[in-house]
Amino acid sequence: MVVNTESLTVADIDAPTPEPRASSRQVVYRHALPIRIMHWINVIALTLMFFSGLQIFNAHPNLYWGNRSDKGKEILSLAAHQDATGSLVGTTRIGHHEFTTTGVLGVSKDGNGMPTVRGFPSWITVPGPGWLAMGRRWHFFFAWVFVLNGLCYVGYSLAKRHLQHDLWPTGADWRGIGRSIIEHIRFKHPHGAEALRYNILQRLAYLTVIFVFGVGIVLMGLAMSPRMDAVLSPLVEAVGGRQSARTIHFIIAWAFVAFVLIHLFEVLISGVFNQLRGMITGYYRIDSGEADTVRIHPAEVETARVDTHEVDEVTPDAPAATEERPHD
């Protein structure tokens, strides 16, 4: 084979073959110790509040609107009846629509495997089936844990400006809300330093959970108490009555469940080990490759310290990532 070297330039011969730049992995300190402690206290408190709340609900598994609980005026009812063969049939009625829910709602098996009339099944209630008094004690105890922990979180977030910098949406966040929705629909998650910053949907979700769900469920819980009627009578009247407060309390509780399920789903699809490590140890791994563009502003993010001892690959000659404002 003959090669015509006259047509080749020195640059063609001596130019090195470009190699892809290795990606750099960094471990950053993302979540401060107080945030992590309060997060896990909240997990325990909310879980036991929910399960003990269902046990309390089982004492009268119906919801109403207004001040009275008149039979036939239920907006939600978990009930049971016997069919032609004498077997128990569980039903769930929402308004005028009734559904058969035997085995889950209305009628479920007890510890001996026998069908029993019960709103929610025993496996989802604590501390035990039919133990109303102890269920109330558990519920009120962990409600106070939830309230005190929430106050500590808000106070700490204000003092450390975590609320202002990391949760409160900026103008750029609002302008990028459309893009954020599309990225969530496509299950597309940020990488690199951008992963350290909450997007607009996360910020709105956390603010809603803290100041709407959190405050709302506590106020409705207090409004349900006969002893608080004199203190919170304007609030009770504003929501339509004590039974209305009980219904709103129930709805917000399930809104918490919906948030937790979505939150867990996002954790699973965005790297469950990395996310759990971040909330247990505080350290979170980010990948920063050549294609990564840092869309983050230093003043808008809680300080993240790079642990240089845990960097897997370092490319000192690589150019620094471009720094930009968040989504426009």
Question: pLDDT (tens digit, 9 = 90+) per residue, 31-79?
Answer: 999 999 999 999 999 999 999 999 999 999 999 999 999 998 999 999 9
Q: Which CATH class is domain 24-59+124-310?
A: mainly alpha
Cα–Cα dist 92/98, whole Å: 6
Share of the chain above pLDDT 70, in %: 80
Cα Rg for the chain, rounded, in angstroms?
Answer: 28
Residue range 160-184, pLDDT digits in tens? 999 999 999 999 999 999 999 999 8
Instruction: Output DSSP code: residue 113.
Output: S
Write down the pLDDT at residue 61.
96
Query: What DSSP designation does 224 have?
Result: T
Q: Are 320 and 69 in contact (CB under 8 A)?
A: no
Output the pLDDT for position 290.
36
Q: What's the CA gap between 242 and 235, in Å, rounded? A: 10
Element spanning 230, H or E: helix 229-239
- Segments of the chain assigned to CATH 1.20.950.20: 24-59+124-310
